[in-house]
Structure 1
Amino acid sequence: MFQRFVRPLFIASSLVILTHSSFADDTKNWQHATSLVGSPKYQQGFSHFDYVNVNAPKGGNLRLSETGSFDTINPATAKGEIATGLGLVLETLIVSSLDEISSDYGLLAEAFSHPEDYSSVTYLLRDKARWHDGMPVTPEDVIFSFESAIANDPKRKNYYKHVISAEKTGEREVTFKFDEKNNRELPHIVGQILVHPKHWWEAKNASGEQRDISRTTLEPIMGSGPYRISQISPGSSVTFERVKNYWGEDLNVNIGQNNFDKISYSYFSDRNVEFEAFKANDIDYWVENEAKRWATGYDFPAANEGKIKREQLANAYRSSGIMLGFIPNQRREIFKDQRVRRALNLAYDFEEQNRTLFYDAYKRIDSYFFGSELASSGLPEGLELDILEELRNEIPESIFTEEYRNPIAGTPQKARANLREAIKLFKEAGYETRKGKMVNAKTGEPFTFEIILNGPIIEKVALPYAQSLKKIGIDVSVRSIDPSQWVNRWRERDYDMIYYGWAQSLSPGNEQIGYWGSDAVDQSASGNYAGISNPAIDKLIQKIIFAENRDELVATTKALDRVLLANDYIIPSYTIRASRIAYWDKFERLDELPKYSIGFPTVWWSKSAE
């Protein structure tokens, strides 16, 4: 699942159930909502989402922070490091609700229609949708945005590869045509395209220079959303101000939302300095990502006096799964052997780190869909087993006889036993120990590699892992690099191993091609970080995309999970299935948050606005 800046950019689906409603042209069977699982909760003509305060006051300022930097505010191209928050400015054709697993409702589009074979979809734009300069949002804008996305972003080009055209088919209608039928995801994913104003990008800027959507820019872009960019300090901060005459303020999907007058993001190169800014009341809201700091770092006056609130909320994790860890790049020859990758997992002592570093706050990940109903467990049975039997000659036999388990350490005895097993696997893969170094038995070349990290926060995890590998003769260098260099290197696959991962929706679909599909191995900026090329996985992905019902989708996804796990494509790390947040006592919200989201800052409001 690809992520958008505030709302999701793309939400992958396999099943799209559309509810009928009446619009201007009934012959097209216009629909108002999509549901990825079941039916949409909100029927045609609903007044607002249940999780909002319809009387939430408007006003107040919200000061947020980001780690790193940025050098562009143009999200239409895969160049540069994009500033956070641009989903406040740009909108999509449809938008997700936050109290359903995955349902979308009309935003820029008031309705949509598709034939029974899903060979196309037509979106009907709202008559009153406007850009910030007052110009109407048109089908030409949607077409321009789609064509720009596939021309300038390899990841989106792959994601939309089955979309063969976007055409204007009415005064307010745009139709996307597909090169395959019965892919129920395609009508949905094109509705999540960020829509840009064609007339603005094709005009010249204040300096008389021609704008170019294929290039990075720090000129405040125009949008149609509830906020506009009011101030930019390159690489340092971005401020958004609420649009007073926002065209969509009274839409049912927007009522009670977008309540702050200003939202600003300040950027920090050091996470500890960023936290000090929060403690000093220079930042209003903090998302904690360190177990030690959460356990011991809030003993300061403002926290002790109740001026800062702390909560641990599971909402955002109820509709997603995750895989995270050290990813060896199989484009490097040394990582191509599955036995080598399994040996590298044996050297990682999670239990010791959880005890000494993390206050036993985390659980080790053992599924690519960890924490969701899509995660495999036990031995395969039923429909899942039937699916795997079809691929029996192409997948490891262990899938049928052994439940996947990560190595367990935590004591010196268990750690040593794991390392002995790792040495055995290296030997089977053609390596041996010479003078304390693990070398290729034929060439004598040492087995050594580099782990690159996006900043220093994971160093405390990576360095002990490197020390463990050193005990079996493997020299590993750990290198933290700045965010811009990190982005460039993972885009171009210029790494031996990275610490990274994948988030998953409960309705996997086309995005799985980009994650593990063979076609994505050589695509710059795809999600196939591991360099996976496996025909059995390709077949399972296609079966997921064309699943005819929820049971088949779940069973096939679990089968895919087992095949991915059995090939040891990652050294899984750990996670906590809750958001740890801290914030200054300046905000209000409803007592009951959306079931699948914290809803911050979208449905919160400022006390100062009352």
Structure 2
Amino acid sequence: MSRPRAETRAKAQADAAPGPLPRALWLLPALGLLALGLTLRPAWGSEHEGAETITSHGISVFGDLKYGPDFPHFDYVNPDAPLGGTMRFVGTGASTTFDSLNPFILKGVPAQGLGLLHDSLLVGSADEPASAYGLIAQSMEYPEDRSWVIFNMNPDARFSDGEPIEASDVVFTYNVLQEKGHPAYRISFQDFESVEALDTHRVKFAFREGASTRELIQQAGGISILPEHYYADVDFAESTMTPPVSSGGYVVRDAQPGQSITYCRNPDYWGWEHPVNVGANNFECIVYEYFADRTAGFEAFKAGQYYLHEEFTSKTWAVDYNFPAIERGWVKQEAIPDNRPSGTQGFWINLRRDKFQDPRVRQAIGLMFNFEWSNETLFYGLYERTDSFWENSPMQAEGLPEGAELALLEEYRDQLPERIFTEPAFTPAVNRPERTDRAAIRQASNLLEDAGWTIVDGIRKNAAGETLTVEVMDDSAAFERIINPFVENLKRIGIDARLTLVDPSQGQQRLKDRDYDLVPGRLVMSLTPGLELRQIFGSQSAMEPDTANYAGVSDPVVDALIQKVIQAESRDEMEVAVRALDRVLRDMHIWVPNWYKASHNVAYWDIFGRPEVKPPYARGDAYWWFDQEKYDALKAAGAPLR
């Protein structure tokens, strides 16, 4: 299974990376109360007569915006970067294939990079953890309690067919996503009361009374805007390979399902000189090439068929980057620092299945993954063990709960196991670096016995005579060497375990349908968690198809703690609530935590220029540019570049 991801829209935009949810659901980071350069004036409309509103070009959480109202561009770009050339990536996002150009619905497998087609009212910056600035919206007005917002839209904004982007298109987008879009939209929009076009270029979002409004303005501003006039004759609910009319700077030039998709700059795009776009998207065209598997993709990279490759396989990174293009200096290797929370990767256990309801069963399964042996034998010592859903961040729970975190957890003491208060936050046991750790086997066997799964003729059965089976589903042969030893260890404690490799299409469908026992997956968590947590761990998303709640978590305390995160009025308060949530989730054993490395292992053909400063919260290649002289020099030297 391709590693599922969930990202904020700001980071997703920065790296043009895919996600498990429709592109428009990659929400802006949780944002805050006061903005730099704001002004106060009477609210628009009679129902708010006499009230004061904040008017601003941007919005931020827990502090001021970095960029003022007249900023020319973000600090991490080269505003003089040359335009032109082609960037080629490998299509290894949500799947190793695609059959749709509509990322907003449940049907079909959308192509990678479709976010290039769509603009939103606001966009995030890649050097702030939680800020957003106007794009289609040139300003916004809202009261201090954020109970509503009016976006003042840029009258110059146009769709790719030249038609103006108007307030009615925003209303249409909200309604069609709510009615016909991916099921996750209903969760995201649950606190929206109404969306109303006040005039041609002013649109108002009103939020539900009693809702936590900290992020709702940014959530509204992060919706990709769709053209009402186009969908008057096109069925939005159907998967399609017809390039749509869209609001972003790129259009689809060519799309071959399962093979490649090419996006090229729209020369008539209205926003190329907008401050949030200056120095970004410098390539004339961006191509995603698809291959049957990672091995085939890597061979294609070595042959110059695409130009940038992020390596996720430690063995390959350690021993296989010795091909001629590396030796000649044509291809560069680099570990690019990743300052986001890392490590939310593991084998997610499907709690929707009765056999996994007992946490002792889940804990026993987790004990059979020997990270220490895997890291020494398979990973060349490149990784560290994950224990937290917010690994490598101040939101990771550690030790015993204390202070504000303890006080928060006390509210739910009668619903939580006593060990939450008396034992340190759960951390996976350190195994001996041997393929089979006997101490772990004994502990796991005891847990299964206590849970009512006893050995009968060498196989674990319950009182009803049912066999304890565990299927690990994946669509990547590259993961076999990691999963197979895990499966063999599960068999050693009497579990009927197996690895099932499926083709990408079948894997995507089974993931959508929740048809799996365990599935490998990785989530990139926000630096400022908030509303997106409902789709990852919330009860509302547990039974919906194709959300990021891979484990099917449905728990009242988890829901309450998510709400505490959303309601937090300061970063300190938010981090306390996230640590409490992390502690509770880890105690539930909803996954078998894997490993992490706080960097991107990237190789690229040396044909690019780069800004001097890398944005701290993005990989950064969205701000590179094509260097024609470097390309010509490599071609002249015999490099097999396309």
CA contact (8 A) 1:322 1:369 kept: yes
1:234 paired to 2:257: yes
The one-letter code matched in structure 2 to 1:83 is A
For the pair 1:76 / 2:104, whether they are aligned, the reply is yes
Provide structure 1 residue ranges, at least 5 long, that are not aligned to the other structure: 204-210
After superposition, the C-alpha distances for 1:317-373 in whole angstroms (9 at most, x for unaligned) are 313344211111111111000111111111111110111100011111111111111
Q: Secondary structure at the match of 2:71?
A: coil
2:437 alignment counterpart: 415
Partner residue, 2:30 = 13
SS of 1:320 mapped into structure 2 = coil
Structure 1 pair 186–69 and aligned structure 2 pair: CA distance change class (3 A): same
Identify the range of structure 1 (93-102 vs 21-30) with the bigger mean alpha-carbon deviation: 21-30
Q: Which amino acid in structure 2 is aligned with residue 237 of structure 1?
A: S
Corresponding position of 2:421: 400
Aligned match for 1:153, one of 160, 166, 182: 182
Which whole-Å CA distance do the structure 1 matches of 2:368 and 2:70 have between them? 57
1:492 corresponds to 2:513: yes
2 CA distance for matches of 1:11 and 1:254? Answer: 17
Distance 1:170 1:24 in 2: 19
* Aligned match for 2:55, one of 10, 15, 30: 30
SS of residue paired to 1:457: helix
1:391 aligns with 2:447: no
Q: CA deviation at 1:581?
A: 0.6
RMSD of aligned C-alpha atoms?
A: 1.9
Aligned to 1:313, the other structure's residue is in SS state strand
For structure 2, the residue ranges without an aligned partner over 5 or more in a row are 1-5, 15-22, 45-52, 631-642
Q: CA deviation at 1:20?
A: 4.2
Cα deviation, 1:239-283, whole Å, max 9, x if unaligned, reads: 111122320111111112221111111111121111111111111
Aligned-partner residue type, residue 107 of structure 2: K
Identify which of 274, 285, 306 aligns with 1:283: 306
Counterpart residue identity of residue 515, structure 1? I
One-letter identity of the residue aligned with 1:13: A
Distance (Å, rounded) in 2 between the aligned partners of 1:277 and 1:36: 43
Instruction: Determine the structure 1 residue equivalent to 2:370.
Output: 349
Superposition TM-score, scaled by structure 2 size: 0.90
SS state at 1:230 partner: strand
Partner of 2:50: none
Task: Determine if the alignment matches structure 1 residue 90 to structure 2 residue 118.
Answer: yes
What is the alpha-carbon distance in structure 2 between the residues aligned to residue 147 and residue 486 of structure 1?
31
Mark the CA change 1:248 to 1:14 in structure 2 (over 3 Å): closer, same or farther. Answer: closer
Say if 2:73 is the partner of 1:48.
yes
Distance 1:157 1:64 in 2: 32
Between 98-107 and 16-25, the greater mean CA deviation after superposition? 16-25
Query: Any idea what SS the aligned residue of 1:479 has?
Result: strand
Q: Tell me if 1:224 matches 2:254.
A: no
- 3-state SS of paired residue (1:128): coil
Match of residue 136 from structure 1: 164
Corresponding residue to 1:518 among 539, 543, 548: 539
Q: Secondary structure at the match of 1:326?
A: strand
Amino acid at match of 1:596: Y
- State the secondary structure of the residue aligned to 1:505: coil
Q: Post-superposition shift, 1:302?
A: 0.9
SS at match of 1:542: helix
Do the aligned partners of 2:7 and 2:523 also contact (CA within 8 Å) in 1?
no
The Cα shift of 1:503 comes to 2.2
Quickly say closer, same or farther: Cα 1:359–1:168, change in 2 above 3 A: same
Q: Secondary structure at the match of 2:581?
A: helix
User: What's the secondary structure of 2:580's corresponding residue?
Assistant: helix
SS at match of 1:327: strand
Contact 1:14 1:544 in 2 (8 A): no
Task: Write the mapping of 1:147-296 to structure 2, written as runs, cut at 5 A.
Answer: 147-151=175-179, 152-181=181-210, 182-203=212-233, 211-296=234-319
The count of corresponding residues between Structure 1 and Structure 2 is 599
Equivalent of 2:132, from 83, 93, 104?
A: 104
Most deviating of 213-222 and 404-413:
404-413
SS of aligned partner of 1:30: strand
The correspondence of residues 315-330 of structure 1 with structure 2, limited to 5 A, is: 317-330=338-351
Q: What is the match of residue 206 of structure 1?
A: none
What letter corresponds to residue 241 of structure 1 in structure 2?
Answer: C
Contact 2:37/2:68, CA 8 A, preserved across alignment: no
| SS across alignment from 2:290 | strand
For residues 243 and 560 of structure 1, the distance between their equivalents in structure 2, rounded to whole angstroms, comes to: 44
1:465 is matched with 486
Aligned 8 A contact 2:88 2:286 in 1: yes
Checking the alignment, whether the CA contact within 8 Å between 1:326 and 1:500 is kept in structure 2 is yes
What's the counterpart of residue 447 of structure 2? 425
Partner AA of 1:428 in structure 2: D
Taking structure 1 as reference, are residues 520 and 101 closer, same or farther at Cα in structure 2, changes over 3 Å only? same
